[in-house]
């Protein structure tokens, strides 16, 4: 499926219809040999077709609420949709009452005219960066389907719904990289906004401090448009900043450790392209990042807050949880109030240091994740490998959540090779400026 703005242009010119786009998306979901059965936990076929026909009728009368109007999108299973059970990728919540109303983010998508084709699969309770789900299956990464590689998580189905043309945008959440990791591993663009930017009511939480809501799509412009809608702003894409003279700082500490050869090569070529296009690309030291493992050695804010959310439910029904999700969650029982307060204090100090380090730059750059997508089967079979790979994938993107920043993951690999993401990082609250930087970076990377 084409990028959102291209689809909007075709709808406006009468070259296609919302009904045709939705029918095509539903056809792709239903292909028996495809990933649809693992990508979607529920498909809203009849409702989506009815809404598409209504969108076409409104367009014929000049009523187009936004460029997203009439375009099929998917929604992660964390979000309430009126009349649906929000399972959060788990069996534990399968007997819950249906949601009585839409989550705020879903309501804003509907108000913009988006057509929701269904709810996408995810890591149970969003608590892993790999994308594996033992309850409902794991969607395969679009790269190297023969091997069967992870899509990344926790917004696994969101990414594959976009890569496989089942939706133009997948709505996800990002607590430690859950939008950016699958975007990077699947060759897509993902945006994690500042956590407070998008209202989270009606969204099942993982960490009330770190959770954020963002899109996975085909371009920075797609993400920028959706972000404006989710934030309740006028639907628009910002003007790209001129790349010539743009000040980009390449973080040297912590985030470059242990890169695999494919990521290192793609990252190096991306920096060279940006420099050749006129950007000022310089190294920057951020030694405080090296303290993150020690600060979060007991599991940090995510584990503490996840345990607070799940402790009653997991005490009653732990046998129904993904064992790997349960074990991570139960670590929170060992985090005391003083430990939690200490992490909050150290986070505040780190955020202040981040602002100092980033002040001379328009954005900071780093690899989104340190490896290309590994195979699914070995991770399913080996708990130790699962744990070490999960920590490795989460390392870079989770630093941005801890710093209360915003970030884009933009594809930077050569066509035909394993997908690799370049992460473009902005400071807290600088979301729209970061997106304007990202638009410029994207042009250079695609040349």
* Contact present, 357 and 289 (Cβ < 8 Å): no
DSSP secondary structure letter of residue 130: S
- The tally of CA atoms less than 13 A away on the side-chain side of residue 342 is 13
- Measured over the CA atoms of residue 375, residue 376, residue 377 and residue 382, the dihedral's sign is positive
Q: Which of 18, 55, 154, 398 is catalytic?
A: 154
Q: Catalytic site residue 298?
A: no
CA distance 380 to 7: 38
Closest CA to 406 of 179, 122, 123: 179
Q: Which of 18, 155, 156, 178 is catalytic?
A: 178
Q: Around Cβ 412, how many Cβ atoms within 10 Å?
A: 29
Segment (H or E) for 216: strand 212-217
- Give the C-alpha distances (Å, rounded to integers) separating 162 from 186, 289, 296, 364: 9, 33, 33, 27
Q: Which of 18, 76, 161, 219 is catalytic?
A: 76
Q: Catalytic site residue 76?
A: yes
Residues 6+ apart with CB under 8 A from 404: 194, 195, 347, 351, 428
Closest CA to 377 of 364, 369, 390, 386: 386
Residue count of the chain, please give it. Answer: 447
Segment (H or E) for 306: helix 300-317
CA distance 314 to 366: 37
DSSP secondary structure, 333-349, as one string:
GG--HHHHHHHHHHHHH
Q: Around Cβ 55, how many Cβ atoms within 10 Å?
A: 25
Q: Which two tokens stand for residue 204?
A: 């099942």
- Give the C-alpha distances (Å, rounded to integers) separating 86 from 124, 153, 301, 311: 12, 18, 24, 19
Q: Catalytic site residue 178?
A: yes
Which residues are marked as active site? Answer: 76, 154, 178
């Amino acid at each position: 499926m084409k990028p959102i703005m291209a689809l909007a242009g075709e709808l406006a010119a009468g070259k296609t219809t919302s009904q045709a786009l939705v029918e095509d998306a539903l056809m792709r979901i239903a292909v028996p040999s495809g990933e649809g059965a693992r990508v979607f936990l529920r498909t809203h076929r009849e409702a989506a077709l009815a809404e598409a026909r209504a969108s076409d009728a409104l367009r014929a009368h000049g009523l187009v609420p936004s460029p997203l109007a009439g375009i099929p999108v998917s929604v992660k299973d964390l979000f309430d949709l009126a009349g649906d059970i929000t399972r959060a990728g788990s069996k534990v919540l399968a007997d819950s009452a249906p949601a009585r109303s839409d989550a705020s983010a879903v309501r804003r998508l509907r108000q913009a005219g988006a057509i929701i084709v269904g709810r996408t699969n995810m890591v149970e309770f969003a608590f892993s960066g790999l994308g594996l789900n033992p309850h409902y299956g794991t969607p395969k990464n679009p790269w190297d389907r023969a091997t069967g590689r992870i899509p990344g998580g926790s917004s696994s189905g969101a990414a594959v719904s976009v890569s496989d043309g089942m939706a133009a945008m997948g709505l996800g959440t990002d607590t430690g990289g859950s939008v950016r990791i699958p975007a990077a591993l699947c060759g897509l663009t993902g945006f994690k906004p500042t956590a407070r930017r998008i209202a989270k009511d009606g969204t099942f939480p993982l960490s009330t401090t770190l959770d954020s809501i963002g899109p996975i799509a085909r371009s920075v412009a797609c993400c920028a448009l959706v972000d404006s809608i989710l934030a309740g702003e006028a639907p628009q894409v910002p003007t790209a900043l001129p790349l010539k003279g743009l000040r980009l700082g390449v973080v040297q500490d912590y985030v470059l450790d242990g890169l695999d050869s494919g990521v290192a090569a793609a990252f190096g070529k991306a920096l060279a392209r940006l420099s050749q296009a006129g950007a000022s690309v310089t190294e920057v030291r951020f030694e405080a990042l090296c303290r993150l493992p020690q600060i979060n050695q007991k599991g940090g804010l995510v584990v503490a807050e996840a345990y607070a959310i799940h402790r009653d439910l997991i005490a009653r029904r732990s046998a129904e949880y993904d064992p790997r999700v349960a074990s991570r969650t139960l670590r929170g029982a060992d985090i005391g109030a003083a430990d939690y307060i200490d992490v909050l204090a150290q986070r505040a100090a780190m955020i202040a240091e981040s602002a100092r380090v980033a002040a001379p730059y328009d954005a900071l750059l780093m690899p989104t994740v340190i490896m290309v997508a590994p195979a699914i089967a070995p991770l399913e079979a080996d708990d130790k490998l699962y744990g070490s790979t999960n920590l490795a994938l989460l390392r870079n993107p989770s630093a941005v959540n801890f710093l209360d920043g915003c970030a884009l993951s933009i594809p930077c690999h050569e066509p035909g090779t394993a997908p690799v993401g370049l992460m473009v990082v902005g400071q807290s609250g600088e979301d729209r400026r970061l997106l304007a930087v990202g638009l410029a970076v994207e042009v250079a990377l695609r040349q």
